[in-house]
Each structure stands twice: as structure tokens, then as C-alpha cells.
Amino acid sequence: MEKTLIIIKPGAVQRGLIGEVLSRFEKKGLQVCGIKMIRFTEESVSEHYAHLSQKPFFNRIKRAMMISPVIVCCLQGVDAVRVVRHLVGATNGREALPGTVRGDFSMSVQENIVHASDSTDSAETELTRFFSPEELFDYDFNNRGFIYANNEF
Ligand code: TYD
């Protein structure tokens, strides 16, 4: 089982879309293993977007991420990183396909509702950044036999 991180961004929190966005992942069959509300600081958002520090929009997206609290959430499932990226859709909400979170709820590149880890390595780094070990839960997910065939997990 793989774990990945999503962040429900300030725009989705402000627009009352937390439940709607989270339910996309739950209905798909992903298991919520940790969830909390946090507020980004200058330090934590700079670390999170360090790979974009040379981009002209770096300061703009950092400000946008600090404007209100966000929801950080750990999702678990088979191929969770790839599955969640597919559900999230393309970076630009105007290009993202209908049926994806961004395709259905976003008209913007910056205001694109949700962040999702883009590789298993970054998922591990990002989960460690936002969650202490005792904030992530391994628990029986009793409907697994209805989400996967018994040779899939
Ligand atoms: P990036 O990691 O490239 O995309 P993704 O979130 O799909 O993995 O970019 C991080 C965030 O930066 C992106 O979700 C929205 C914002 N962003 C802009 O505001 N303008 C841009 O031109 C790009 C590429 C990203």
C-alpha cells in the first residue's frame, strides 16, 4: 500500500469545498490515514514550494497558500500517488479534464483547489513535513475486499 499527501488549498477552504473535494478521494476507495487543518508559515510554504523558488510566480503562490488555513491529508491505496494525481487533473484548472477535481472546480492555474504529491519520494518527504508519526494511523479498512480483487493488495 502506498501513501500520498493532498493539501486542500485556501481557495477550496474559502469556497466551502473541503467535504466535496475529500469525498472524491474517499469515494474512489482511498483510505484517509491522517488529516488536520494547518496554516502555512513563510518557512513551511517556502520549503513546500522550494522546487519553484526560481519561478516568477513563487512569491505569489506562497502568499496565496498562507491566506487562510489549509487541510493536509494522507491518503493510502494501491498506486496511491499516481491514482490521486489522475483524480486531481492538470495543473491549469481550465485545461484539466471534466471529472477531475481541478477540471470540475477550478478556472485557474494558481487557484487550482488541491495539491497532490507528484512521486513516491516527494510523498514521503511531504508526509514527514506535515505529520508526526503518531498523527498517521494504520487501521483496518474493512471494505478493502470490495475495492480491490484479493490479488491486488
Ligand atoms: P507545479 O508543482 O508545477 O504543479 P502541480 O500542483 O500540478 O504539481 O506547481 C505548483 C503550484 O504552483 C500549482 O499547483 C499552481 C502554481 N503555479 C502557478 O501559479 N503558475 C504556474 O505557471 C505554475 C506552473 C504553477
pLDDT tier, 41 (very low <50, low <70, confident <90, very high otherwise): very high
Alpha-carbon distances, residue 27 vs 19, 23, 87, 97, 116 (angstroms): 12, 6, 11, 18, 17
| % of residues, the chain, pLDDT over 70 | 100
pLDDT digits (tens, 9 = 90+) for 86-135: 999 999 999 999 999 999 999 999 999 999 999 999 999 999 999 999 99
Q: Taking the domains of the chain in order of start, what are their residue ranges? A: 2-138
Is the CB of 57 inside a 6 Å radius of any atom of ligand 1? yes
Mutate to test the pocket of ligand 1, among 8, 86, 91 (most ligand atoms within 8 A of CB): 91
pLDDT value of position 153: 87
Q: Which residue type is seen at 132?
A: S
Is the CB of 59 inside a 6 Å radius of any atom of ligand 1? no
Q: How far is the CA of 23 from the centre of ligand 1 (A)?
A: 23
- Closest ligand 1 atom, residue 112 Cα: 14
pTM over 0.95: yes
pLDDT digits (tens, 9 = 90+) for 53-74: 999 999 999 999 999 999 999 9
Superfamily in which the 2-138 domain is placed by CATH: Nucleoside diphosphate kinase-like domain (3.30.70.141)
